[in-house]
Amino acid sequence: MEINGKTRVCGLIGNPVEHTLSPMIHNTLAEILGHNMVYVPFLVEPGRVAEAVTGAKALNLLGLNVTVPFKSDVIASLDEIDDLAGNIGAVNTLVRTESGYKGYNTDMEGLYRAMTGEGIRLDGEQIILLGAGGAARAVAYLCAVKGAERVYMLNRTPGKAQTVAAEVNRTVGREVILPMATEEYGKLPEGKFLAIQGTSVGLAPHVDDVIISDDSFYEKIHTGFDLIYSPWETRFMKLTRAHGGRAYNGLKMLLYQGIIAYELWNRVNVSEMDARIVYEKLKGCFIDAD
């Protein structure tokens, strides 16, 4: 890659950012597609996200990704926000406009592409969602708008789950999210469920952690999807597979949320063939390490 006076810059703002795989996604795509673009991470101190957006505007950055802890805080600094991001209450992608930046949320469409690519459907499904934080709230909204029959939101703090469920149900106009305390999993109805692990429990280096370890819980799961991708196989995934279910990690979600952002910045469509090249490169970061 030759960097010159016409090179456009994109990047990631967050704290921390040292662990990010996003530069691999975007710089690989730029190389494959022949775009004169470079992507770099920017560490932003707490309370300074507004300054970061102003600086990006002054420097004419083409676009930015936004990660924790700024996905909600950044909204106040934007000139415009996409409807989906507004309903979720979180932005992870900024696209340059004439006056500033427009905010999008590509996380949920990235998750949806990842799931449908594995043959996972949401329409008409009975879903268990573990967690009620920012990621889980976005997943609950996605499940609701994609036609899930019922989403049982299990959280250690029932009040938080109740608040999120009420917000999402009100937004989508139907009672689809049912909040429950995590320890109430025994009250789940009979049947098989799609289970989505939407918390940071089990994230490396705490690879032996899991929200629920009871075998009877995993006997209810036909498919488990963990938003975590490090480690490659979480304990949640291992327990799901041990009881006959399919299990997937969040690496393809990471891939597709990045691809959608790249498409927005560069006004292109990335082919599945090119997506596969990037995925294999990302996967190598984990498989080679094993």
Maximum Cα–Cα distance across the chain: 62
* Cα–Cα distance for residue pair 59/202, rounded to 1 Å: 39
**What are the CA-CA distances from residue 290 to residues 25, 29, 101, 286 (Å)?**
21, 26, 41, 7
Residue 152 near residue 128, CB atoms below 8 Å: yes
Is there a catalytic annotation at residue 71?
A: yes
Cis status, amide bond into 231, omega within 30 of 0? yes
CB 50 within 8 A of CB 23: no
149 in Cβ contact with 176 (< 8 Å): yes
Active-site entry in 71, 102, 220, 252: 71
Residues pairing with 13 in the sheet: 42, 66
Q: Which helix (H) or strand (E) holds 42?
A: strand 37-43
By DSSP bridging, strand 93-96 and strand 63-66 are antiparallel
Q: Are 56 and 69 in contact (CB under 8 A)?
A: no
> CA-CA distance, 219 to 204, in Å (whole number)?
25
- Who's near 103: CB < 8 A, 6+ residues apart? 74, 75, 78, 80, 81, 82, 85, 91, 93, 94, 95
CA distances from 169 to 3, 133, 163, 185 (A): 48, 16, 10, 21
Give Cα 188 distance to the centre of its chain: 26
Amino acid (1-letter code) at residue 281: K
Which letter does DSSP use for residue 31 in this model? H
Active site residues: 71
